[in-house]
Amino acid sequence: MSEPTLEVRGLTCSIGRRTLLRETDLTAPAGTSLSVTGPSGSGKSTLLSCIAGLHTPQAGTIRVGGTDIAALRPSRAAAWRLHTIGFVYQFGELLPELSAVENAALPLLIAGRGRREAYGAAESLLGELGVGEIADSPASVLSGGERQRVAVARALSTRPPLILADEPTGALDESTTDDVCETLFGLPARYGCALVVVTHNPVVAHRADLRLTLRGGALHSPPESAPGSTPDSATDTTTAGA
Ligand SMILES: Nc1ncnc2c1ncn2[C@@H]1O[C@H](COP(=O)(O)OP(=O)(O)OP(=O)(O)O)[C@@H](O)[C@H]1O
């Protein structure tokens, strides 16, 4: 069996006196999606920061695409992250003075690709994600849904094996949330990446192949339930696509 895209073993992370993650395991194979819900302050964003190597946990190993980021020199880590992990944030976090295509091309330009190649690839991606027509519009005038699709294109631009999305629909209305979810949860099948989505929205969480809840430092897999229902028991199954 091939190595999973994301493999977390024994992750323990405390901030101050609070242990947010206690010996947590998590696996996401390529082409699968995983959602993490949980109470505010339970540590969902911290989990993503640990996975991305932006926060150093007290214990555990995290491998993305077979590489343990903790073993990389800081000077190598940024380049590795650029090619290995794409991020989508709640408000898109686009640079407002740049156009949609300029935003989507940024990771490729930072990675050293030529302008023609970077813009060409970004434009193609915007088209594939259904926002090709706003490629030249400044990010500052885009709607919330358009902004998030451009953010997805930017996250995908270096074709990373892992996409992390932190509340990607938190700023959107219901129908735009559906549209953005269609795009986001379609990524694993379309591009072969693994996707981890942190969300407060049970309808969004329900679209993932594996749904987990972070509570009391542990990731629980709720029983099969309708979107919006509250999990009332837990198991330790933490492999997306299992
Ligand atoms: N850099 C930091 N310095 C101090 N405390 C932090 C830091 N980062 C996170 N925390 C604390 O760690 C806890 C978990 O934060 P985190 O943002 O991971 O939670 P969350 O589950 O994503 O919350 P929310 O759903 O509200 O976004 C919170 O109590 C937060 O205040």
pLDDT over 80 at 2, yes or no: no
Closest C-alpha residue for ligand 1 atom 16: 43
Which atom of ligand 1 lies nearest, measured to the CA of 46?
A: 18
- Choose which residue among 13, 22, 42, 91 to substitute to test ligand 1 binding: the one with the highest number of ligand atoms within 8 A of its C-beta: 42
The pLDDT, as a whole number, for residue 90 is 85
The pLDDT, as a whole number, for residue 223 is 66
The pLDDT, as a whole number, for residue 3 is 80
Q: Per-residue pLDDT tens for 88-104?
A: 998 779 999 999 999 99
Q: Per-residue pLDDT tens for 26-67?
A: 999 999 999 999 999 999 999 999 999 999 999 999 999 999
Cα gap 234→229, rounded to integer Å: 14
Helix (H) or strand (E) holding 8: strand 6-15
Confidence band of 241 (pLDDT split at 50, 70, 90): low
Cα gap 120→57, rounded to integer Å: 39
Q: 56: exposed, middle or buried (C-beta count within 10 Å: 0-12, 13-18, 19+)?
A: exposed
What DSSP designation does 191 have? H
Confidence band of 230 (pLDDT split at 50, 70, 90): very low
The pLDDT, as a whole number, for residue 180 is 92
Q: Which domains are delineated in the chain?
A: 6-92+161-220 (3.40.50.300)
pLDDT over 50 at 235, yes or no: no
Closest C-alpha residue for ligand 1 atom 6: 15
pLDDT over 90 at 237, yes or no: no
Q: What is the dihedral of CA 151, 156, 161, 165, to 10 degrees?
A: 10
Report the half-sphere exposure of 146 (CA within 13 A, side-chain side): 18
Q: What is the mean pLDDT of residues 153-182?
A: 94
Residues 190 and 32 sit within 8 Å (Cβ to Cβ): no
Residues 238 and 210 sit within 8 Å (Cβ to Cβ): yes
The pLDDT, as a whole number, for residue 69 is 86
pLDDT over 90 at 137, yes or no: yes
Mean pLDDT computed over every residue of the chain: 90
Q: What is the mean pLDDT of residues 5-10?
A: 95
The pLDDT, as a whole number, for residue 126 is 96
pLDDT over 50 at 78, yes or no: yes
The pLDDT, as a whole number, for residue 117 is 96
Residues 66 and 5 sit within 8 Å (Cβ to Cβ): no
Centre of ligand 1 from the C-alpha of residue 116, in Å: 40
